[in-house]
Amino acid sequence: MRILKTAALLSAGLLAAQTAVAQEKFITIGTGGQTGVYFVVGQSICRLVNRGTADHNLKCTAPSTGGSIANINAIKAGDMDMGVAQSDWQFHAFNGSSQFEGDKFDNLRAVFSVHGEPFTVVARADSDIGNFDDLFGKRVNVGNPGSGQRATMDVVLGAMGKSSDDFALASELKPAEQSAALGDNKVDAIIYTVGHPNGSIQEATSTVDAKLVNVTGEAIDKLVGDNPYYAKAVIPGGLYKGNDEDTQTFGVKATFVTSADVDDDVVYTVVQAVFENFDRFKGLHPAFATLKEEEMIADGLSAPLHPGAEKYYRERGWIQ
Ligand code: GLU
């Protein structure tokens, strides 16, 4: 009798444990290369979410990925719940334009935007590259397929009536590999659409004498004039070794996106974790230091807000 009772108690305990495990929900955030800023965005959001797992049972992971396009595609396929993506690719994915022509992602939802990302070109000082036009005929790392910079580079080349065939070499190295390739003289220039300062450009400019290159001219003026998701951008001088002057270019915003298929309470919990610990979040990377709530919930967002995010912003009185 006593043994039976113990067995019953034991199995009741087991059942409780199983229920607790079953209630825990895992979410995955798509980021970018480990030397970029998206990786820090995802890791920071997860860190804040996971501080509250005991209360809400959400467990968050943010693995390194190929970048914007890879993240949007993974969210669409249901392989990831959320991700970071450039504002231009959020726009094109939701509207079925550019690379997403015939592949419209109606269920794409915006959560908030984060830091600005200037389209950044870094060239070896010995390469005679002073402006973007000088890249033609040179060896250029155009970026890995799936990255935002690779896709935006194709748009820039198209706007100039050029393609990567106009480079002596167009390599497809990932952000984590490209700085070493520049230092080893395997390429003359690298490109990266990324927040500043970041580890990748720091590595490039400290291993070899390298310059940030202006990306200006008529084609860029027209791109910025015609498209709401682009803006002129300046990379301030003094952020990187040997680069004391400002660099003129254009840029996009990093945005945080999800799918309409992700539960409202999941998105609400993630958004709440960020904005209720906002000072802590801003302290996790220098590119986050100047973020403002009112800009984050409006700028760079072209897909509709996810209802879970909207609910939180309404409760805070940030939207009607
Ligand atoms: N903007 C890049 C992309 O969309 C990623 C930048 C980063 O990782 O910080 O692929």
Instruction: List per-block mean pLDDT (blocks of 10 residues) for the chain, which spans 320 residues.
Output: 46 50 85 97 98 96 98 98 98 98 98 98 97 97 98 98 98 97 98 97 96 97 97 98 98 98 98 98 97 97 98 97
Name 189's bridge partners: 123, 140
Name the closest-CA residue to atom 3, ligand 1: 148
Report CA(36)–ligand 1 centroid distance (Å).
6
Strand-pair category, 108-124 with 58-61? unpaired
Helices (H) and strands (E) in the chain, counts: 13, 10
Instruction: Report whether 132 contacts 223 (CB < 8 A).
Output: no
Judge whether 24-115+254-315 and 117-252 match in fold.
Answer: yes
Q: Which residue has a Cα nearest atom 4 of ligand 1? A: 148
* CA end-to-end distance (rounded Å), the chain: 63
Give the distance, in angstroms, between the CA of residue 166 and the centroid of all CA atoms in the same chain: 28
Q: What's the confidence (pLDDT) of residue 21?
A: 53
Nearest-CA residue for atom 2 of ligand 1: 148
Model pTM greater than 0.75?
Answer: yes
Q: 49 near 111, Cβ under 8 Å?
A: no
Pocket of ligand 1, beta carbon within 6 A? 32-33, 36-38, 67-68, 86, 117, 147-149, 193-195
**Top mutation candidate among 45, 65, 86 for ligand 1, by most atoms within 8 Å of CB:** 86
**Angle at which helices 175-183 and 199-207 pack, to 10 degrees?**
10
- What superfamily in CATH does domain 24-115+254-315 come from? Periplasmic binding protein-like II (3.40.190.10)
Question: Measured from the CA of 41, which atom of ligand 1 is nearest?
Answer: 9
DSSP 113-153: EEEEEEEEEEEEGGG---BGGGGTTSEEE---TT-HHHHHH
Minimum CA distance residue for ligand 1 atom 6: 194
Ligand 1 mean position to 32 CA, how many Å? Answer: 5
Domain assignments of the chain as residue spans, ordered by start: 24-115+254-315, 117-252
Topology at the third CATH level for domain 117-252: D-Maltodextrin-Binding Protein; domain 2 (3.40.190)
SS3 content of the chain, % helix, strand, coil (to 5): 45, 20, 35
From the CA of 143, give the closest atom in ligand 1: 10
The closest of 260, 193, 189 to 229, measured between CA atoms, is 193
CA of 16 to the centre of ligand 1 (A): 43
The 3-state DSSP class for residue 251 equals: strand
Ligand 1 centre to CA of 78 (Å) is: 21
Candidate of 35, 65, 68 to mutate for ligand 1, largest count of ligand atoms within 8 Å of Cβ: 68
CA proximity to 194, closest of 294, 98, 109, 121: 121
Nearest atom in ligand 1 to 31's CA: 8
Predicted local distance difference test score (pLDDT) of residue 247: 98
- State the pLDDT at residue 23: 77
Which CA distances in Å does 107 have to 93, 103, 228? 10, 12, 21
Burial class (CB in 10 A: 0-12, 13-18, 19+), 209: exposed
Which atom, in ligand 1's list, is nearest to the CA of 193? 1
Task: Give the Å distance between the CA of 195 and the centre of ligand 1.
Answer: 8
Would you state the pLDDT for residue 2?
Answer: 46
